[in-house]
Structure 1
Amino acid sequence: MTNKPGFFKRVKALDLQQKKVFAIALCQRMLPNYQLFSEVCEFGDPQVLDTALSLLWQSIYDKKLKLNIDIYLERLELNTPDPANFDAYGVYPAMDASTAIIALLSAIQGKVEEDIVNISKLSSSTVANYIEAISDVDLDEEAFDDYIFNHEVMVEEKELQGTLLQLIEDNPKLNADFVKSLRKEIIEAGVSNIGIGLPES
């Protein structure tokens, strides 16, 4: 359910800061899934996720910023929904959004670059699960995998990850202007990896 061969080789070839930016951007794009779920099901505080992401972005270009990862891991855990407590499908992409930020913070804390790369797979699996949930097709397992892989939402996800990767490869210096404009672009697009728009405030 992932991108074409060579994609992860390229992601793994990025330096640590580039990998972080790639993963932070994907987490940012998953945030509307949580925001909508939180509003509809009256659970959690999206501001906790938003603040963690803001600090992660800032940490790329502000070397003086000290991120207290343990505090944010604790807050995020408290705001991660348990699917057993909700009937709404939206709990799954919301849980993935929170889990992705937790995984990213833990990977940064433990300096585990492989886990930073895995945010890409987590975002793609959110998309795959969403397609499965909305699809009413009767196919065998292999045909269904192909169906998901070629579904327009998955094609968009793969294209976005590819574009994002290219952009980061082309801008290895990751100066403040680049990081701020990338963040702004994702937030202003206002659409998540499964096509969810931001709730009206």
Structure 2
Amino acid sequence: MTSKLNTFQKVRELNGWHAVAFAATLTERMKPNFQLFCESSEFDDEGQFHKSLESVWQWLSRTGAKINFALQLEKIEDVTPDSADFDSYGVYPAIDAAISLAAIMSLITNDEPQGAVIVSKLSQGSVEAFVELVSDESLSSQEIKEHPLMQWEVAFQTELLAQINSMPEGAASVKTLREMAKSEGVSNIGIEITSA
């Protein structure tokens, strides 16, 4: 539990560009969970999740493009699935990914200064729920913590935190972070990354 608390504390200390970049990298890593849900349940968000996440990366690249994040937030809220409408487990990681993206928008607009912490917790929460789902028996919090997927999630966030503070703002760092999010070829819960 200590490593989790340390992670959240360190995330809480991130500011501005670095907080958004941290949250965007975790959300990029959750994106396949949203995509798989859309494909398997015929939920059509018309590519809105992808477009909105791209607008965050564009903002992080410091291109000077004018992006209306209040509008982007509305669009993401419109395509956040409702668990009551679906009976498949996949809706839950998809909701976590969508809420993460909404938290980034609110972080950029200064409406939610703890947006990066929210994303950090949602990403770990997705893994925790998935570990419990695939287990044959109920697990203690210690057993969940020791599960390889949870260990990998905490290690990824720790590594990301170690690198992010020294990163300069701009396109070169964005490229590095996006590659880092996709480097394992799978999402935070092991869903294969099939497209960009």
TM-score using structure 2 length: 0.90
Q: CA-to-partner distance for each residue in 1:40-79, whole Å, 9 max, x for gaps?
A: 1100226211111111111123252222112212221221
Q: Note if 1:156 corresponds to 2:152.
A: yes
Q: Note if 1:175 corresponds to 2:170.
A: yes
Q: 1:88 to 1:10 in 2, by over 3 A?
A: same
Instruction: Supply the distance in 1 between the matched residues of 2:76 and 2:110 (Cα, whole angstroms).
Output: 17
2:181 maps to amino acid: I
Q: 1:55 to 1:146 in 2, by over 3 A?
A: same
5+ residue gaps, structure 1, are none
Q: 1:5 to 1:85 in 2, by over 3 A?
A: closer
Instruction: Supply the distance in 1 between the matched residues of 2:2 and 2:65 (Cα, whole angstroms).
Output: 34
Q: Note if 1:165 corresponds to 2:137.
A: no
5+ residue gaps, structure 2, are none
Instruction: Supply the distance in 2 between the matched residues of 1:125 and 1:2 (Cα, whole angstroms).
Output: 16
Instruction: Supply the distance in 1 between the matched residues of 2:195 and 2:105 (Cα, whole angstroms).
Output: 29
Aligned length: 196
How far 1:151 moved relative to its partner? 0.7
Instruction: Supply the distance in 2 between the matched residues of 1:11 and 1:114 (Cα, whole angstroms).
Output: 9
Q: CA-to-partner distance for each residue in 1:17-57, whole Å, 9 max, x for gaps?
A: 11110001001111000101100110022621111111111
Alignment-derived partner of residue 18 in structure 2 = 18
Instruction: Supply the distance in 2 between the matched residues of 1:88 and 1:136 (Cα, whole angstroms).
Output: 18
Runs of 4+ in 1 over 6 A off after TM superposition: none
Instruction: Supply the distance in 2 between the matched residues of 1:178 and 1:200 (Cα, whole angstroms).
Output: 21
Cα RMSD after superposing both structures: 2.1
Alignment-derived partner of residue 85 in structure 1 = 85
Alignment-derived partner of residue 75 in structure 2 = 75
Q: 1:138 to 1:31 in 2, by over 3 A?
A: closer
